[in-house]
Structure formats: C-alpha cells, structure tokens
Structure 1
Amino acid sequence: MEGLFEIVVFLAVATLGAALARKLGLLAPIVLVVVGLLLSFVPGFPHVRLDPEMVLVGILPPLLYIAALETSVPAFRHNLRPILLLAVGLVLFTAVVVGLVLHLLLPAVPFAACLALGAVLAPPDAVAATAVARRIGLPRRVVTILEGESLLNDATALVLFRVATLAAVGSAVGVVDVSIEVLRSAGGGIVVGALGALIFGFVHKRISDPLLDNALSLIIPFAVVFAAEEIHASGVVAVVVTGLALGHRLPVLLSAASRLQVAAVWRLVRFLLEGLVFLLVGLQLPDVLEDLDEPAGRIVGVTAAVLGAVFLTRFVWLFPATYLTRLVPRLRMRERKPAKFPLVIGWAGMRGVVTLAAALALPLTLADDAPYPRALFIWLAFAVIVFTLVGQGATLPTVARRLKLPPDDPVQDALSAAGVQQQASRAAQERLDALADTAPAPVVERLRRGVEDRTNLAWERLGGSERETPSQAYGRLRQEMIDAEREVFRAARDSGRIPEEVLVRAYRDLDLEESLLRREIR
C-alpha cells in the first residue's frame, strides 16, 4: 500500500510540475529536475532509490518506442550520416576523452573503469532531446538529427559500457571479444527488432478492435526488450528498429479508430513517464551524497574537469564531422549548412536518466581491489545530468533565438499540403463518380461538397491570417451550434427524457466533430 501511495504522489507532483512549467513558459524537464532537487530535502517526503534495471528495462523502452513510432523514416534515412556520426562517432569520442581526463586526474584508478564512466556520460538523453527540441521549435531537420541521435546513442554507449566494465572487473577483453559483443548487441538487436516488427505488424493488421490494438501497442516495447535481453542483444536497438518499422506502416496496419486511440494513449503514457523520470532524477540527490566521502577540493576539481570535457567534446567533434566530411564526395551533403546549425546541435547535449541508471550499475569493486571511487563516479554522473539539463536545457531557447536559425517555411509546407490534397481530392472524386449509382443523388452531392471543402481549406491556408477565411467563419459558427446542441442534450438527460447512454453517444459524436473543427481552423 505504501509503494502505491508513493507512486501516486510522484505522478501528482510530476503533473503539477509540468503544469507549472507550462504556466511559466519553461521547459518541463528542467522544472521537474529542480522540483525533485528541492523535494529531496523536504523531511517526510517519499524517498525512492532508482533501480537501474527498472529504468533500462521498464521506463526507457516505452519512451524509445513512442519516439521511434513518431520518427519519419524517410527523414531519418536522409539524415543517416549526421545521425550516425553523433550516435556512434561522438559517443565513442566523448567516452574516450572523458576516460582519459579522469585517468589523468585519478591515475590510480584503472583506465577501463574511467572509460566505463565515460560511456555512462557520453549519450545525450532521448527524452530530454525530444522534449526540448520540439518545445522550442527548432528547424525540422535539426529535430530529426537530435531525435535520431538520441534513438541510437544509448545502444553505442551501453555496448561500450559493458565492454569497459568487463575489462575493469578483470575479464579478458580483446579485439575478438569486442567484435563479438558488438555483433551480438547491435546485430542481435536489429534481428530481434525486425522480427518484432514482422510479428506485431502481422497481429496489428488482423485486429479490428481499438482496445486490443492499444493493449498490443503497450506490450510491444517490453516484449521486444525481453526477447533481446534473453539472447544478450541490445534491447535499445531492438525497440528502435521495431518502432521505426511499425511507425512507418501504421497507416496501413491500424484502423482510423485504433490510430486515434493509440496516439492518445501514448501521449498520456509519455507525459507521465517523462515527468516521473525527471522528477526521480532530482530526488536521487540524497542517495548520491550519502556515500560521497572524497575531499571537497578533489570533488570540485574532478567535477569541473569532467563537465568541461563533456561540454567541449561535443563541439570539438561536431565541426570537423560537419565540414571535413564534405571533402569526401560520397558523404557530401546536398546543401551547405552555416555554422549556427552545429552550434545549436552541440548545445542540445542534455543528459538524463539513462546516464544515472548506468552509473548506478557500475561494479561495486574492481579486479585486484584496485582503487575505485564509485561514489565519486555516481556523483559525476548526477552533476553532468543536472548541469546539462538545467544549464544547457534552460539556455537552449535563448541560444536558438540568438543564432536566428531559419525556421521551416510554413508557406512551402502549406503549398505542398495543398498540392497533395488536390491530388487526394481528385482521387476521391473519381472513386465517388464510380460509385455514384449506388447511393441517392443528395448523398452523392453532399459527399462531393465535402471533398471540395477540404480542398478549399488546404488552399486557404496559403492566404495568410489578415482576415477570417470562409473555413474559419464556418468553424466559428459551427462551434456555437455544437455548444447549443450539447446544452439541449444535457438538459434532456437532467430532466429524464433521455438515458445517460444517449447523452454519452451524442457527446462523443459532437466531441469528435469539434476536435476536427479545431484541427482544420488552426
């Protein structure tokens, strides 16, 4: 009972923190981390110790899955070069640099242990990157690169972490061992993810009940992770592959009702899990400080050096990776991007809960009882998370505004949408003409007007917002009519003229129409 009470309290605080962030115009991850830090000092507030296994297997998979579902596969494929340079190259570079810095400052600690912490600190957080990038309105291509990096970098970091940890505890690790580990983790994850996409895509295709589709969608990330972990493959890679493949095919796998419900359910799940994750990060401060018994000067010096290494390595890697690769014809990009793009991508290197979970999974002792300040390593992971989330995350909107990144062209988007809508309307008209003899003429004419209205709406969006368009006038008046209809049904229910079930059905139909109206007149 006590555990359930704590979960409810955490979810309530996370919800209130997110609401406060929206009220203040701040980023929710930053507010929730700060709230967690403050609440960690409140006597009597529920205390929870973060379980690394719970984070890596219980919280991360659904968040990665929904992020992959919403990622555009064509855009991901188009930006694969910069994504891999960040998700693989930058993670390895950061891990090695941080490991070297730590080993220079703590020469008694084996380099393998320092490299393990470097792997822990290397990957930016998938949740933070997505939440921050979309919230501040970065250009679509920048968001795609950041999301793609965050989907894949955990796999690189966790494989390196596993190899470095094995070396630190005394296991023999050679080139062959590393190759086998990479092949098993990455290759096995790809195979499991592809099989998961095939199997669950087949099942989705044969389900017509939206509730069953919802239930299956919530099960998929955990089923894929458990299958991958069973063969010691990367669950992160498996979930991402399954999510990308299924997300690309969702329009043909799910019915309209299922797509609407699945999207709504996952929005709620992501909102609650993201809030819970960042709140829990802040609440870990007492546990992190509890075992920390290093001299204050040493803690400050090592922390400053590691923070500097984590921050600078991203920029040191990004500019050569962005511009030197242009010297290779096959890797040359179609368009030259100014320096402000790698600058803002470099600034968006927020770490999150995966970093802390991996740090808590560091071994308790090393081979031959080598010196090993594990508590200091966990503190460093916590400090990097707080510094990057609160420092970089809070200033990223300002940096993006100062750099004046060219926004996506809404006119071009509207023009493209209108052109495709014109083709879609033509196809709908042709189908209607072919079936016109099977329905009464008034029905056919009503459907024909509906197609024309959708086409006109698409072209109206190109006209600017100086005056009210016909579709906006329609939406405004129809909204008033819907409100009047609702009031009549409610009064009829209250007076006993209709049962509750009739009211529910009527409200559902009116709610759906209102939702469509609001989407169309935005």
Structure 2
Amino acid sequence: MPSQVFLVAAALAVAVLVGRLLAGRIGVPDAAAYVLIGVAAGLVPGLPEVRLSPDVVLLAFLPPLVYYAAFFSDPRETVEHVVPVVGQSVGLVLATAVAAAGTLLLVFPDIGWAAALAFGAAIAPPDPVAATSVLQRLGVPRRLVTVLEGEGLINDGVALTLFAIAVSHLGAPPTVPQVLLGIAVEVGGGIGLGLVVGIAVAWLRERTRDPLSQVVWSLATPYLAFVPAQLLHASGVLATVTAAVWLGVRGRGVIAPKARVQTETFWRMLNLLLVAFLFVLLGFQVPHIVAAVADYPIGPLVLATVGIVVAVVVIRLLWALLIPGLVSRVGVRSGELSRAERLVLGWCGPRGAVSLAVALSLPLATPQGEPLIRRDLLLFLTVVVVLATLVGQVLPLPVLLRRLHLSPAERERTEGVRARRTMVDAALREVEDLAADHKDEPPGLEAMRQVLEVRRDNLVRELDPDEAGSEASAAAEHDLQIRVLAAQRRTLRRLQADGEITRRTLIEISQELDLEEARLHHAE
C-alpha cells in the first residue's frame, strides 16, 4: 500500500511538471496539457488505478477553487455591468443546463430528468480563467474581461444550487413548492452563512499577528463556510463566495503587509496545484472512464457527445449575440459591449476544474439506495465537453481577436502607470512636508527625494515619451521609508475609492508596496 501511494504521488508530481512544460512549448491551455499527461500516465503498466471519491472531490477541491476566484474578484466593476453579468451567470447557466439535459434525454431517456439536469448543471458554468488569461495577454477592452470574471463569480453558485436540487430529487420527482423551498434555503442560507463566516474571520484575523497563522486562517476560511452550509442543506458555493468577497473587500486592510504577501503567494501556488492535480487525476481516470462506456452502441454515444458539445457552444453564442438586443428593447440597459465584444464573450466558454469537480461528485447511488443510472456515461460526457471547449475554444482566441481588431482604450492601457505616478507625487509631497517640519533635514531624506524623482521621471516618460523632465541613522531612515509607503497606500486607496483605478490595479500595486515593506521589516 505505501508503495502504491508513493507511485501515484510521484506520477502526479511528474505529470504536473511535464504538463506545464508541454503547455508552454505547444501553446495549449495548461489544463488540456495536464489531462493529456494524465491520460498517458494512466496507461503506464504497473500504476494502480486511481478512484476519486465524490465526497473527496467535493470537499477537497471545490471550496478552495471557488474561494480563490471570488477573493480576487472586483465586486464594484461587477455591479457596474450587472445586467450582462446576471444574464450570463443566471439565465445562460439555466438555459445551458436545460438544453444539455434535454439533448441527453433525447438519446438516453432512461437517465431521468433529475440525473440529466444534474449533469447539465455540472457542465453549464464556464471557467473564465483560461480565456481571460489569453484576453489579458493579448489586450482587450476591460469591460469584456470584467463581464467574464463577474460571470465566473456567480455562475458556479447558480450551477451548484441547481445541481444540489437535482441530486436531492434523484428517483423522486419534486413538486413546485419543494423546488422553491430548496432554492430559498440554498441561496438565502448560503449567502447568510457566508456573510457570518466572513465577518467572524475578518475579526479574528485582525487580532492575529503571526503571518503563518494568517495563512492557516485563510486556508480554513473556505471550509468553514462550505462544510456547515452543506450540512445545513444550503449552498456551500454561495457561502464560500460570500465569505471570500467580504474578506477581499473588507478584510484586506486589516492584515499586515507581510502576512498579505505570504497569504496571497500561498493561494496562487495552491490554486495552481489544485487545478493541476484535478486535471491530472482526471487524466488518470480517462482510460477507465472510456472503458466503462465501451459497451455502449457507438451511434447513440457519438450522437449524444456531439449534440451536447454543439448545444453548449451554440447556446452561449446565441445568448451573447441576441439576448442583449432583446433586453434593450424592453428598456433595460444591457451594458456597453459592442457586437464584436459580444461575439468574443459568446466564444469564451471553456469548461474547467469546477465542472470536473462537480461531475466527479455525482453520487454513486440515489437517496433511495439504488445505483445511479449511467453515471459512467455522465462522467465520460463531462470529460469530452471539458476537453472540447477547453482546446476548441481557447486555442482559436488569438486569431479571433486579431480578426475583430479588439484592443483596450488608451486610459486602460496606462492605468497602472498613471496610478504609480500619482503615488510617487504623493510620496514626494510627504518628503517635502517632512523636510518642512524639521529644522535639520532627517537622515536619508535627500536620497529618498532623488530616488522618487527618478522614478517619477521614468513614469512621466512612459506616459509621454516626449516629456522629460554626516552618516544616516538606520532607524530614522527606516521610519521615513515606512511613512512614504503609508502615503502611497493612502493615495492608492483613494484612487480606487474614486473609481480612477480598478481593484485589479489596486491589488497589483498594493502587492508591490507590501513586498517593499516586508523587505524593510526583514532588514530590521
């Protein structure tokens, strides 16, 4: 047994490393490379079969994946584009789930509506990470990325609520009051519990000084929100999203810079590893998943596979292109996306880690104790949909963007530079105020002034290339640098509060300041 665990762990580690190398070399999304490497590893003779328990997938992978995406979101920009975001994350998810379930039932009617709807809910929410990484690298209008990220923030909760309701009624058709009560408990209970957890954790973390303990609190938060919600039959996903958004918006300022750096670095690494391991583990299981459907008639299997892939892709395209116009006709502003942007939005629908985790969490049996009919087929179809959309929709994105000539506005391209210049100006004013307050110039002040002036000149040139422009006490110089950093932070928060910069820019520059302050404390 220990030798088998070692073999599986070693194979997983090698698969993750090789997958990242392969993705960079051949230009495919990381997740697709992980699956391919996992499939190859699963075919290696001598490796034990890997079986993922539905409960392990649901509890180990889903809470941190959902928490990470929600914590780094920008709720203010989501609210500014609330109509397209809600349309994509609620209406489109429900339409996709019903269409996928209906297509599946046309070919395999014995599955039943509950199981088919649970499958449809699993594959309904796209994972915007793969698409937005390409969009941001190539440069597109920010509102397009905002809608995609806002959709990703909400659609998982909608899909998981629908999934939970469908699973709870496997083998027993629900009544309308039961469905309405289930939705109310799932949504209201999840949001309420998540808010309580977010407020409590923010209060506790504000009183925690040890940076490593902050990391532990951060890791525990998604589970503190998710598990009790699931036990109370509320939405664990909505609870996790609510707690993450609250901590991301309200709790960021109560944590010391050093702890923020360590915690956010930890989460980026953890998210990378969780996504990698999930896709590699899926690849490990692909040979067994394919073998499980080997006895299916090839005609119905191909018909169901092609029909479902086409349905999820076409419905998203039609929704993005047609629904905004219909909404505008009834007097509701549907956002400012151009037709070209809506076309890209409709094409950016790759399914990812959440769909896999949800599908793998399908129960082995119904609440009545009977085996779940065709569970192997549902897993197979999920794998095909994820791979088809991940590779088939992400790889052509650069060509599509070039054909449509989409690019961000000048103000969006220079947002970070303008924010940094404003912060440097604030730091210089702080230096001048310090000089005016002291008869004798504080040690290190002139050196700090020169550094800031050089930095400002560089930023000015970046914005407009034609525009140019006795022994120090270690403790005093340290205090000076801390005060200057504080002045820059105040200015950065004011810029974000005034709507001059987005939360993404605030986090990016704040992390730079955190790293600088952590370096100063480390040198003490």
Tell me the amino acid that sits aligned with residue 314 of structure 2: L
- Tell me, which stretches of 5 or more residues in structure 2 are unaligned? 470-514, 520-524
Shift of 1:93: 0.4
Equivalent residue number for residue 487 of structure 1: none
After superposition, residues 265-344 of structure 1 pair within 5 angstroms as 265-292=266-293, 293-333=295-335, 335=336, 337-344=337-344
Q: Is the 8 A contact 1:138 1:407 kept in 2?
A: yes
Q: Mean Cα displacement is larger for which, 211-220 or 136-145?
A: 136-145
Shift of 1:190: 1.0
Q: 1:136/1:275 Cα in 2 relative to 1: closer, same or farther (>3 Å)?
A: farther
Q: Is the 8 A contact 2:160 2:237 kept in 1?
A: no
In structure 1, how many angstroms separate the alpha carbons of the residues matched to 2:436 and 2:235? 51
After superposition, residues 90-109 of structure 1 pair within 5 angstroms as 90-109=92-111
Tell me the amino acid that sits aligned with residue 354 of structure 2: V
Q: What are the superposed Cα offsets for residues 460-509 of structure 1, whole Å, 9 maximum, x if unpaired?
A: 32135x99x99xxxxxxxxxxxxxxxxxxxxxxxxxxxxxxxxxxxxxxx
Shift of 1:408: 4.7
Tell me the amino acid that sits aligned with residue 212 of structure 2: L
Q: What are the superposed Cα offsets for residues 307-328 of structure 1, whole Å, 9 maximum, x if unpaired?
A: 1111111112222232222224
Q: Is the 8 A contact 2:195 2:239 kept in 1?
A: yes
In structure 1, how many angstroms separate the alpha carbons of the residues matched to 2:232 and 2:372? 33
Q: What is the identity percentage for the equivalent residue pairs of Structure 1 and Structure 2? A: 34
Q: What are the superposed Cα offsets for residues 281-304 of structure 1, whole Å, 9 maximum, x if unpaired?
A: 222212212321211112111211
Asked whether 1:145 is paired with 2:152, we answer no
Tell me the amino acid that sits aligned with residue 305 of structure 1: G
Q: Is the 8 A contact 2:319 2:346 kept in 1?
A: no
Shift of 1:205: 1.7
Equivalent residue number for residue 374 of structure 1: 375
SS at match of 1:441: coil
Equivalent residue number for residue 401 of structure 1: 402
Tell me the amino acid that sits aligned with residue 419 of structure 2: A
Equivalent residue number for residue 354 of structure 1: 354
In structure 2, how many angstroms separate the alpha carbons of the residues matched to 1:368 and 1:14? 37
Q: 1:194/1:433 Cα in 2 relative to 1: closer, same or farther (>3 Å)?
A: farther
Shift of 1:275: 1.5
Q: 1:13/1:310 Cα in 2 relative to 1: closer, same or farther (>3 Å)?
A: same
TM-score (norm 1): 0.81
Q: Is the 8 A contact 1:315 1:343 kept in 2?
A: yes
In structure 2, how many angstroms separate the alpha carbons of the residues matched to 1:421 and 1:389? 40
- Tell me, which stretches of 5 or more residues in structure 1 are unaligned? 471-511, 517-522
Asked whether 1:249 is paired with 2:225, we answer no
Tell me the amino acid that sits aligned with residue 399 of structure 2: T
Shift of 1:361: 3.9
Tell me the amino acid that sits aligned with residue 343 of structure 1: L
Tell me the amino acid that sits aligned with residue 344 of structure 1: V
After superposition, residues 252-263 of structure 1 pair within 5 angstroms as 252-263=253-264
Q: 1:297/1:356 Cα in 2 relative to 1: closer, same or farther (>3 Å)?
A: same
In structure 2, how many angstroms separate the alpha carbons of the residues matched to 1:389 and 1:339? 23
Q: 1:411/1:351 Cα in 2 relative to 1: closer, same or farther (>3 Å)?
A: closer
Equivalent residue number for residue 65 of structure 1: 67
In structure 2, how many angstroms separate the alpha carbons of the residues matched to 1:323 and 1:340? 14
Q: 1:187/1:290 Cα in 2 relative to 1: closer, same or farther (>3 Å)?
A: same
Q: Is the 8 A contact 1:97 1:309 kept in 2?
A: yes
Q: Mean Cα displacement is larger for which, 349-358 or 68-77?
A: 349-358
Q: 1:355/1:232 Cα in 2 relative to 1: closer, same or farther (>3 Å)?
A: same
Shift of 1:332: 4.4
Q: Is the 8 A contact 1:418 1:458 kept in 2?
A: yes
TM-score (norm 2): 0.80
In structure 1, how many angstroms separate the alpha carbons of the residues matched to 2:373 and 2:56? 25
Shift of 1:106: 3.0
In structure 1, how many angstroms separate the alpha carbons of the residues matched to 2:97 and 2:169? 15
Give the aligned CA root-mean-square deviation in angstroms. 3.1
Tell me the amino acid that sits aligned with residue 348 of structure 1: C
Equivalent residue number for residue 478 of structure 1: none
In structure 1, how many angstroms separate the alpha carbons of the residues matched to 2:330 and 2:432? 49
SS at match of 2:396: helix
After superposition, residues 159-238 of structure 1 pair within 5 angstroms as 159-170=161-172, 172-238=173-239
